[in-house]
A and B are shown apart, each in its own frame.
Chain A
Amino acid sequence: MANTKTSVSKQSSSSPDSGPDAYIQMYRKMAGIRLFEERVNDLYTRALMPGLAHLYIGEEAVAVGICSTLRSDDYITSTHRGHGHCLAKGAAPDRMFAELLGKEAGYCRGKGGSMHIADPDTGNLGANAIVGGSTGIATGAAFSAKRLGNGRVSVCFFGEGALGQGVLYESMNLAQLWKLPVIYVCENNTYNEYTHYSETTAGDVLGRPRAFGILAERVDGQDVRAVHAAAQRLVDRARAGEGPAFLLCDTYRYRGHHVGDVSREYYRSKQEEQKWMSERDPIGLFSDWLIAEHRATAAQLQSISAEIQSAMDAAVQFALSAPYPDPSEVQQDVYA
C-alpha cells in the first residue's frame, strides 16, 4: 500500500470531487485495511500471532473517510480495534504485521502488540486497550495544538462502548469550554463485546455531546463519501478555531469481537450479519458507485486489489521472518 502508483499530492485537505485520484486512494485504503485484516485473521488462526486480534472488517469506511481529511501531522488516538485507524492514518503494513507478531521491526519494537500501535511519524498517539482510555489524550493533543498554534487537529476514535465511561464526558466538557480542535468519532458497530448497545446506552447519543454545546452529527458509517464529507466539514471547522465536534458513525463489525469469538448466535443472528455484509458493505457500495460514475472500471479495481494482495504477501513475509527483540530489551524504555 505504501508504494502505490497512484500518488495523491493533495491528500490532506483534498475534496474528493477535485479529481478521481482521491476517491481511488480512498478505495485503495479501504481495500488495504480489509486485506490486512484478512491476513491477521489467517495469522491468528494459524497460531502465528499471539494475544488477541480485534478485526476492523466492515468498518473500513469510518477510518478512511475520516483520515482522508487529515494532514499527516494531525493526531489520532485509536482503540483495541485499531488496525484500520493506524493504516488509514498512514502506517505501513509490514511494520504493523511485525508489531502484531511481537517483532523488533514493529512500530513499538514488539512491546505494544495489536492493541497498542503508536507512531509519531503519522500522528498516531496510540491505540488503547482501555475502553475510553484515550479520550483525555486526544483532548490533550488538541489543547497543545491550540496552545502551540500549529493548526493541527486531533481525532479521538472510540467504540460506542466508551459512551459508558465518565472520562469521555469530562473530556468533552473541557474541549468545549476551551474550544479545542478535537473530533470525537464514535464508531457505533452495534455491540459492546457481546451485548447490544441498546442494553447499555440510555437516551439519545447525540444528546450527550449536545448537552455540552458540542456540534454533533450522525452519518452512515458504511458510506465512505458521506463520512468523508461530514469529517471534512468538522475538521475544517475545528482547524479554523471553532471548537470540537462529535461524529456518530453507524457501522457493523462483521466478525467476532475478537478472532476467537466464533459462536455468536447467542447475541446476534447469522441473518443480521449476512444482511450487513450483503447490503451494507462499505467496499462493495463504494466500488459500485465508482464504476457507475465511471470513476473506475471493475478491471481497475481488481488490479488494485491484486496489487494490494501481493504487497500484503510481502508485508506478512517480512514480519514472519523478522527477528524478535532480544530479551535484554525488556528493561529499555520504562523511563524516558
Chain B
Amino acid sequence: MSTPEMKSVMEPAAAQRELTLGEAIKEALAEEMRRDPRIVIMGEDVAEAGTVFKVLSGLSAEFGTDRVIDTPISEAGFTGLAIGAAMTGLRPVVDIMFGDFIALVMDQMANQAAKVHYMSGGKWKVPLVMRTTLGASRRSAAQHSQSLHAWFSHVPGLKVVLPSTPFDAKGLMKSAIRDDNPVIFFEDKMMYKLKGNVPAEDYAIPLGVADIKRSGDDITLVATSSMVQVALGAAKMLEDAGISAEVVDPRTTWPLDEETLVESVKKTSRAIVIDEGYARYGVTAELASVIAEGAFHYLDQPVKRIGAMHVPIPFSPPLEDVTVPTEQMVFEAARGMCRRS
C-alpha cells in the first residue's frame, strides 16, 4: 500500500473485500471482544480447535483461554451458567455445536433466559448470544441435521437471527451482541464457506429489519438463511422463463419486519415462503399468515409454503436429497403460480 500505483490496484479490492460467512462471524466477534471486555465465548472445542467448523479459529490465541473457554460436554450446564453470568455483568456468547443439541438447553433458554426479564418486572437482563447451526445435506443423519429455529421463535422473550450472507452475518452478530436480550443466532453449516462483500468498517444491522435481496414484480419469494441462496437461484431460473421474482429475507424471525413482507406482496400479489425448518407448525406457517393477514386483498392466490419434508432427516443420500427444498422446487412452484393467473 506504500506506492500510489499499488494503492490503485488495492483499492477496488479493499472496497470489495470478500470474506466467507464464517470469517464474517469471527470478525464481528473479535471486533466486539476488543471493544467490550465483558464478552466471553464458551462451548465445546471453541478454543484451540476453534469449533468443529473452525469458525472461531485464532480467537483463543488473541483473547486467551480465559475469554474463549472450552467447556465439558454439558450444554444445559454451561448455558445455565452463561445465563447467570449474563445477569451479573458479563456478556456471554455460547456455542452449541449442532442446532440439534438445542434440545438439551431448552429449559435453560425457554424457562429461564426468556422469562427472567419479564418475571423480574424488568429488573434483571440476560444479554446472551447463543450461536448454533441449522441445515441438512451433509449426510449427518437425523440428530445432526435439523433446522429447529422455529422452537425458539415461538417463545416470547427470545430473539432469533438467521443470517444469509457474510455481510448480514457480521452486521447482525454485532447487533446480537449489543442487545440486552437473549438472542439465538442460527448459522447454516453449508454456508460457512459462502463468500461475499464485507466492509472493514464497523457497522451493525438492526434486528427486525428485512432485506430485499433482489427486486421483482411478479412474485415474492420470502426466504430465510440457507433458503435465500436457493430462492435467488430459483429467481434466476424464473427470469429466464420471463418471470420477475422478488426475494425478501426477513433476517430475523423475531423481531419480525412484517411491513416489508406485506409491502412486497402488495406489489407482486403472489408469495412463496421458503424455510429449511419443517413446514408444519413452522416458520413458513407464521410468515405465510402474516402475509395473508396483511396483504389479503392484494393476493391473487393463497400463499404457498415450502419447508423440509416432515420426516427425521435420513442418512442415505438419495433420501436426504428429497427432504430439502431445492431451486427446482421453488422454480416450479413459482412458475405454476404465475401461469395460473
Please give the residue numbers on chain A whose beta carbons come within 8 Å of chain B beta carbons, in ascending order. 50-52, 102-103, 108-116, 128-133, 161-166, 192-195, 199-201, 266-267, 324-327, 329-331, 334
- Residue B23 CB within 8 A of the other chain: no
Contacts of A111 in B (CB 8 A): 141-142, 312, 314-316, 319
Docked CA distance A108–B317 (Å): 14
User: Which of A110, A133, A199 sits near B315, CB closer than 8 Å?
Assistant: A110
Spot the interface stretch: B12-20, B27-35, B42-50. Answer: B42-50
Closest residue of chain A to B141, judged by CB? A113
- Asked if B309 and A331 sit within 8 Å, CB to CB, the answer is yes
**Contacts A193-B49, A325-B316, A330-B323; is A51 near B73 (CB within 8 Å)?**
no
User: Which of B52, B74, B310, B316 sits near A110, CB closer than 8 Å?
Assistant: B316
- Asked if B140 and A110 sit within 8 Å, CB to CB, the answer is no
- Residue B101 CB within 8 A of the other chain: yes
Docked CA distance A169–B307 (Å): 38
Closest residue of chain B to A196, judged by CB? B70
- Asked if B140 and A52 sit within 8 Å, CB to CB, the answer is yes
Q: What sequence of 0s and 1s flags, for each residue 119-161 of chain B, a beta carbon within 8 Å of any chain A beta carbon?
A: 0000000000000000000111111100000000000000000
Docked CA distance A201–B45 (Å): 14
Contacts of A162 in B (CB 8 A): 73
- Asked if B316 and A113 sit within 8 Å, CB to CB, the answer is yes
Interface residues on B, range: 35 or more
Q: List 9 A-B contacts (CB under 8 A).
A: A52-B139, A115-B144, A116-B142, A116-B143, A130-B104, A192-B72, A324-B318, A325-B318, A330-B309
| 8 A Cβ contacts from B294-340 to A | 309-312, 314-319, 321-323
- Asked if B141 and A194 sit within 8 Å, CB to CB, the answer is no
- Asked if A161 and B315 sit within 8 Å, CB to CB, the answer is no
Contacts of B139 in A (CB 8 A): 50-52, 102, 113
User: Which of B72, B76, B141, B319 sits near A51, CB closer than 8 Å?
Assistant: B141
Contacts of B141 in A (CB 8 A): 51, 111-116, 129
- Asked if B319 and A130 sit within 8 Å, CB to CB, the answer is no
Distance between B285 CB and nearest chain A CB, rounded to angstroms: 19
Contacts of B44 in A (CB 8 A): 192-193, 195
Contacts of B322 in A (CB 8 A): 327, 330
Contacts of A199 in B (CB 8 A): 70
Interface SS of chain B? loop
- Asked if A325 and B315 sit within 8 Å, CB to CB, the answer is no
Closest residue of chain A to B143, judged by CB? A129
**Contacts A51-B140, A130-B101; is A192 near B318 (CB within 8 Å)?**
no
User: Which of B76, B317, B323 sits near A102, CB closer than 8 Å?
Assistant: B317
Distance between A322 CB and nearest chain B CB, rounded to angstroms: 11
Distance between B240 CB and nearest chain A CB, rounded to angstroms: 27
Top 3 A-B residue pairs of the complex, sorted by shortest distance between their CB atoms: A113-B315, A110-B316, A102-B316
Distance between B43 CB and nearest chain A CB, rounded to angstroms: 11
Distance between A50 CB and nearest chain B CB, rounded to angstroms: 4
Docked CA distance A112–B139 (Å): 10
- Residue B77 CB within 8 A of the other chain: yes
User: Which of B45, B101, B315 sits near A193, CB closer than 8 Å?
Assistant: B45
New A-B contacts (12) at CB < 8 Å, excluding given A129-B141, A164-B72:
A52-B139, A102-B315, A111-B314, A112-B142, A164-B71, A164-B74, A165-B73, A193-B52, A327-B322, A330-B309, A330-B319, A334-B311
Distance between B93 CB and nearest chain A CB, rounded to angstroms: 18
Which one of B48, B73, B74, B104 has the highest number of Cβ atoms from chain A below 10 Å of its Cβ? B73
User: Which of A110, A195, A201 sits near B319, CB closer than 8 Å?
Assistant: A110
User: Which of A103, A131, A331 sits near B316, CB closer than 8 Å?
Assistant: A103
Contacts of B309 in A (CB 8 A): 330-331
Closest residue of chain A to B321, judged by CB? A327
Contacts of A51 in B (CB 8 A): 138-141, 315
Contacts of B100 in A (CB 8 A): 130
Docked CA distance A193–B141 (Å): 19
- Asked if B310 and A200 sit within 8 Å, CB to CB, the answer is no
Docked CA distance A163–B318 (Å): 36
- Asked if B72 and A327 sit within 8 Å, CB to CB, the answer is no
Contacts of A164 in B (CB 8 A): 71-74, 77
Docked CA distance A111–B311 (Å): 11
Contacts of B77 in A (CB 8 A): 164, 166
- Asked if A330 and B74 sit within 8 Å, CB to CB, the answer is no
Which one of A110, A194, A325, A330 has the highest number of Cβ atoms from chain B below 10 Å of its Cβ? A330
Distance between B68 CB and nearest chain A CB, rounded to angstroms: 13
Closest residue of chain B to A160, judged by CB? B73
- Asked if A161 and B73 sit within 8 Å, CB to CB, the answer is yes
Contacts of B70 in A (CB 8 A): 195, 199-200
- Asked if A266 and B49 sit within 8 Å, CB to CB, the answer is yes
Docked CA distance A113–B76 (Å): 27
- Asked if B144 and A129 sit within 8 Å, CB to CB, the answer is yes
Closest residue of chain A to B103, judged by CB? A130
Which one of B76, B139, B321 has the highest number of Cβ atoms from chain A below 10 Å of its Cβ? B139
Docked CA distance A116–B310 (Å): 20
- Asked if B143 and A330 sit within 8 Å, CB to CB, the answer is no
- Asked if B72 and A166 sit within 8 Å, CB to CB, the answer is no
Q: What sequence of 0s and 1s flags, for each residue 45-74 of chain B, a beta carbon within 8 Å of any chain A beta carbon?
A: 100110010000000000000000011111
Contacts of A329 in B (CB 8 A): 319
Docked CA distance A193–B71 (Å): 12
Contacts of B104 in A (CB 8 A): 130, 165
User: Which of B48, B311, B312, B316 sits near A267, CB closer than 8 Å?
Assistant: B48
- Asked if B319 and A327 sit within 8 Å, CB to CB, the answer is yes
Contacts of A102 in B (CB 8 A): 139, 315-319
Contacts of A200 in B (CB 8 A): 70-73
- Asked if A194 and B315 sit within 8 Å, CB to CB, the answer is no
Distance between B14 CB and nearest chain A CB, rounded to angstroms: 32
Q: What sequence of 0s and 1s flags, for each residue 177-215 of chain B, a beta carbon within 8 Å of any chain A beta carbon?
A: 000000000000000000000000000000000000000
